[in-house]
Amino acid sequence: MKKLNFGCGHRFSSGWINIDFNSEHPEVIAHNLLQPLPYPKDYFDVIYSSHVLEHFSKDTGEMLVKECYRVLKPQGILRIVVPNLERTCREYLRLIDSIENEESRKQYEWIIIELIDQLVRTEHGGLMKTYWRQVLENNDESSINYVQARTGVNIKEEIATNNTNSVLQKVFSINQNKLKNKFKYLYIDMVKRLIPRYVRKSMIDETSLGEKHKWMYDSYSMKTLFERVGFSNIEFLDAHTSKIINFSNEVLDINPDGTVYLPGSLYCEGIKPNK
């Protein structure tokens, strides 16, 4: 069985062909996902992607789903996982309706960031990173637990890892594959510094590749996207359930301990019909 995991990041399996914009592991193939998938028609039995589609514009995301349709075999399965816009909006409305409650006001501070920040941020980490540091400094356990329950992110580990990586990356990240990009970004940084500081933030986006959300999906928009491209038997499942054989054994949508990797996601599957 041929299986493709595109935009895999650090979540990949040796039983799959894993591709992403950049590769830092022998089992990951570097490929520009803005270009057609480098595979022939009717090649894969299964295609999977998690929290990738929202980082493309609406039109580009649809082009990528069309590419998945092209390279899937008839009766092949596409499984797409994205943040669930409807779930976040419903939580926002629940909190705004009970905003006089102190705990709701605290949770509101996070939900508005969860809803908007990755769409509008211009600096790496955005308001999410600032919020995480703030609740850690204040030892605000209820807010820490609320964020973890919604996102699956262990804030303490995430901040510690980022602090460590920021030092290690400066020392070890230059290799043959990245050297050209290092010089390119150095040049871009020099050009940015020519722009006055007081207008720099409004003109320049300092976020990294794949950090921002360019579109969001709910069950209706995801279903209609799959339908427009030509998929049938469209279903919304959960992290533990799939039509993909033995998918529950994969450490992709779940962690090794069986917990959900990214709670609150939307899990959509469709089948490419026979010709």
Kindly report, residue by residue over 153-211, the tens digit of the pLDDT: 888 888 776 655 444 444 444 444 455 555 555 655 666 666 676 665 655 667 777 78
- Looking at residue 122, its pLDDT comes to 86
Q: Rounded distance, CA 217 to CA 82, Å? A: 7
- Looking at residue 174, its pLDDT comes to 46
- Looking at residue 158, its pLDDT comes to 81
- Looking at residue 45, its pLDDT comes to 98
Q: Rounded distance, CA 83 to CA 11, Å? A: 16
Residue 83 CA, chain-centre distance (Å), reads 8
- Looking at residue 207, its pLDDT comes to 77
- Looking at residue 17, its pLDDT comes to 97
- Looking at residue 141, its pLDDT comes to 94
Q: Reading across the β-sheet that carries 3-6, which strands appear in turn?
A: 28-30, 17-20, 3-6, 44-50, 72-83, 265-271, 232-237
For 8, the token pair is 């895999």
Q: What is the 3-state secondary structure (H, E, C) of the chain?
A: CCEEEECCCCCCCCCCEEEECCCCCCCEEECCCCCCCCCCCCCEEEEEEECCHHHCCHHHHHHHHHHHHHHEEEEEEEEEEEEEHHHHHHHHHHHHHCCCCHHHHHHHHHHHHHHHHHHHCCCCCHHHHHHHHHHHHCCCHHHHHHHHHHHCCCHHHHHHHHHHHHHHHHHHCCCCCCHHHHHHHHHHHHHHCCCCHHHHHHHCCCCCCCCCCCCCECHHHHHHHHHHHCCEEEEEECCCCCCCCCHHHCCCCECCCCCECCCCEEEEEEECCCC
Residue spans of the chain under pLDDT 70: 161-195, 197-205
- Looking at residue 275, its pLDDT comes to 79
- Looking at residue 170, its pLDDT comes to 42
Q: Which residues contact 269 (CB under 8 A, 6 or more apart)?
A: 77, 78, 79, 80, 234, 235, 237, 242, 243, 244
Identity of the amino acid at 2: K
- Looking at residue 201, its pLDDT comes to 61
